Structures are given as C-alpha cells and as structure tokens.
Structure 1
C-alpha cells in the first residue's frame, strides 16, 4: 500500500492553514478575542487579546489589589456588548464607583458571595458550564491541579474570557490553564506583567503597563499623576522560581535559648 502524501502546512488551503499552529509563533483563537486595553499586552497574547474558550490565570499578591486595574478595560468591553460580568468570591466587596469609568454598570455586574473554597469552585463551574454571561472572574486560591483541569475542560466551551485569580506563589506550580500571567506593582502607576505561560514562544521580558485607575486622572494633582518610584515595586517582588522554596520558621519560646551574660 503506498504511503499517503502529507502536504506541508504551507501548501494547505487557507481555511485549514489558519488552524495550524507552529510552536515558534503565537497561537490564534478560533473566535475573536477581547482586547485588553493595553497595546503591549495585546501584542504578547495569542489572538491579540484575552482569549475565550479557555482559562486565563492571573497570579498576584495580595489578592484583589491589582486585578481590576488590569482587567477594567476588558470588563468594560464585555459590558458594551450587553453581556454581564460575574465575580465569584472576590476578597473585598466590588467597588462599583471605581468600575463605572471603565463602562461596567451596576446592572451588568453580578457578585456571587461564596464563602468557602468548595462553594467558590462549584459556583465557577456552574457559571462556566452554563455559558450565560460575558465573562467570569473567580478567586480560587486553593484550587488543585485536578480542579484546574476540569475547569479548563469546561472553559473550552465558554465563549467569553474566564479568569482565575490565584496567589503569586502558584507560579511555581503546573497548571492546565493555557495562559498564565504574573501581575506585580510596577514603577509609578504601572503594572509589571510577566507572561509565564502562553501558546507560543516564551516572553523573556516584563511588560510595563500604564494602569492608572480609571477616574483618578480627573482628581489627582499633576505631581501624583507623574509619580515616579524609581525602579518600582516589581524589583521588591521578584518572579517566583522553583528554587525559591526554602521555609524559614521563627523559633518558638520553648526553642529559644536564654541569653548568656558575658
């Protein structure tokens, strides 16, 4: 039986060639993505924006401090389509006046109060499975690898973005999410963003994204708008690496030796 001839991807019809992904290039989603509002970030994300049909992990500490500054423009774009944004288990109550300048309205912002990890995971799974909202933003700091795999399977059928917020130390762990970003405070009002996993070649440099909270530009004096913190807080919060796993314990009173007088 003759060996079938396999055509190189460059000779495929345009409709099929568009679906072929080469490992040295950024992947492209099957459907349109949601622009992040940051040109440098869109250029680094497969498809030129936040992808649908899959999980995106946002890793930062402390929880709730930076997520809305990064996602605010995208949440506003979701609401502009008439869809709802659902928050599951945010560490602090959502501050609607801070989201209104992005275009997020009270009618389109849904807050699911889920107190325990089990409740947050269950609510997130049901929302993603239903596919009835424009975007899901969930805080799941204790999610295990098996739970992330299940969420990724469910998110592969969800058209809108699904963001999971987890601690920065989770960057050392493997995850089924095809897109993972580490978010830290940058210089001034900027955010320092490392794309630690994406469908494509590694991104070797840190992105510095200007992320002044919406609405503050109208009330802050010029000296605070041009705030310069030198090298920024990102230098004080380095990217977690696998080698950084030492545990330091403070000795308890029973283990402390009394001072020996000289």
Structure 2
C-alpha cells in the first residue's frame, strides 16, 4: 500500500500579470474632460455679470450664452433687475436688444434708463396667459434676434423648461427665466440656477443652487444700492442695520425693500 503524502502538492505557478503601460493623454482630450469637483471649463461664450464675486463662481466667468439661466426670487420683477442690470447694460452698449416677456410689474422706464438701458433697445411684451408667455419666449430664443430674452414663467413645467434649454443651445444671446423662490424644489434642465434675495444694508444675496461644478454652499453677498439712490443716501442710511434693536433693523429692511420695489418697477 502506497503512502499518502502529508501535504498537498504546490499549485502551478501563476503567470506574472503584465503591467499596463499608460500612454499620455492627448492635450485636446485632456482639455475636454470635465470633473464634477471643478468648475466646467469647456463652457461656451459668456456675458460677464458685472459682479466680480459672482463671476468667480460661475463656469466661464459670467452668465452663459447658448444656455438657459434660471433666477429665482420671492419678489418678482424687483431683484432681477438689480442682479441683471450690469450685464444688460453691456448688451445694450454692444448694440443688442433686451426683450422682456410677461413681467408681473410694469417696467419703470426712468429706473431702467438709470441702469443704462435705452428705451430704443428695450422691448416689453405683455403676455398674460402662461401658454402665450411660453410660446413667445420659445419663438424669441429660436429667432436669435435679441441680445437678451428675459421671461417670467412662474408655472413652467420641467418638460417645458427642457424644451427651452434645447432652443437656447442655438441662441447666442442671454436666455433668462425668472421664477418664484418655491421653484427651487422643482427639477429643471437649466444648467445654471441662482436664487436672489434682499439683505440689509442694501446688499443683494445670491445663492447658486445649480451650476456645472461643485456645490456652492454659502450665498454670495453683493453690495447693491438701487440705481438713483446712491447719490442721495447719507452714510448713515447706507447702513440700516441696528445690532441693539433687531426689530428696528427688520422694519428698516422692509422699508428698504419697498423703496427698491418702487424705484425698479412701477
């Protein structure tokens, strides 16, 4: 009887794994790669916002062209003008037209002129029905006839915004949708979404809700005195906060909002 070995025979040696040779990535390919942790650098042309702090946080350094921008605010047709006025001034100076669709408040021409907008390059289309506003906005974006299209679409659905985004990809101007603050909880195909709110001391708070890049946690504070008031406000009135009396500060902040609304919109 043959003896049984007390140990298992050694397993056959495994072939050595070939080491992969990494080839350097072509520069044109490396430049086209966008990582979600970084601001997108393959952006199309942009229009500087006029706010250096905001430009630094946006892909390309400004409001994107050939793309949809959504601005959300609790006070429609007030803060949008303050936020957009520097960029719109540049559009007008470049010979472009600014077309607004369905603003909930009548545009105040003297205030717009103070912001640098010319009445000859400003077109206001009053469309009362949501379907009219949507159709008008889509046709304006498709026509590529305006340097900036600003439309108030508070009831736009996700599929309608997606359609506008597709249209905006062929438009060289700005395509901006103004929507209520509550819409921040709704899905949107707009690559850039920002929320604007009024702060004390005439500041404008801007929270970047969505961008092609990392999440932006803290709102930006932009010093913004409404047009025409900077020349008449005393240093004391430029700072409305009162640390020792928060209820007074709240009342003064509400008063400031009222003045801003009256100045920016009739």
TM-score by length of structure 2 reads: 0.80
- For 1:6 and 1:229, the matched residues in 2 are separated by 63
1:188–1:229: 8 Å Cα contact kept in structure 2?
no
Q: Corresponding residue for 2:198?
A: 185
Paired residues for 1:15-34 under 5 Å: 16-28=29-41, 30-34=43-47
Deviation, structure 1 residue 19: 3.3
- 1:189 is displaced (CA, Å) by 0.6
Q: Does 1:54 align with 2:48?
A: no
Query: 1:187·1:229 contact (CA, 8 Å) conserved in 2?
Result: no
Unpaired runs of 5+ in structure 1?
237-262
Residues 25 and 222 of structure 1, relative CA distance in 2, 3 Å threshold:
same
User: Which residue of 76, 100, 122 corresponds with 2:113?
Assistant: 100
Task: Tell me the residue number matched to 2:4.
Answer: none
Matches within 5 A, 1:60-209: 60-209=73-222
1:112–1:225 CA distance, 2 compared to 1 (3 A): same
Structure 1 window deviating more from structure 2 (149-158 vs 222-231): it is 222-231
TM-align CA RMSD: 2.1
CA displacement at 1:30 relative to structure 2: 4.1
The Cα of 1:62 is off from its aligned counterpart by 2.3
- Deviation of 1:29 after TM superposition, in Å, equals 5.1
Distance between the aligned counterparts of 1:29 and 1:52, measured in 2?
A: 13
How many aligned positions are there? 227
The structure number with the bigger radius of gyration is 2
Deviation at 1:64, TM superposition (A): 1.3
Q: Is the Cα–Cα contact under 8 Å of residues 88 and 112 in structure 1 kept in the other structure?
A: yes
Given the alignment, which residue of 36, 48, 51 partners 1:35? 48
Unpaired segments ≥5 residues, structure 2 = 1-20, 254-266
Q: Residue 43 of structure 2 contacts residue 59 of structure 2 at CA under 8 Å; is this kept in 1?
A: no
2:35 aligned counterpart, secondary structure: coil
Asked if 1:223 corresponds to 2:236, the answer is yes
Residues 18 and 171 of structure 1: is their aligned pair in 2 closer, same or farther, counting only changes over 3 Å?
same
Cα deviation per residue 1:187-221 (whole Å; 9 max; x = unaligned)?
22111111110000000111111111122211223
Q: 3-state DSSP class of the match of 2:222?
A: strand
Deviates more, 1:218-227 or 1:36-45: 218-227
- TM-score normalized by structure 1? 0.81
Cα distance change of structure 1 residues 81 and 225 upon mapping to structure 2, 3 Å threshold = same
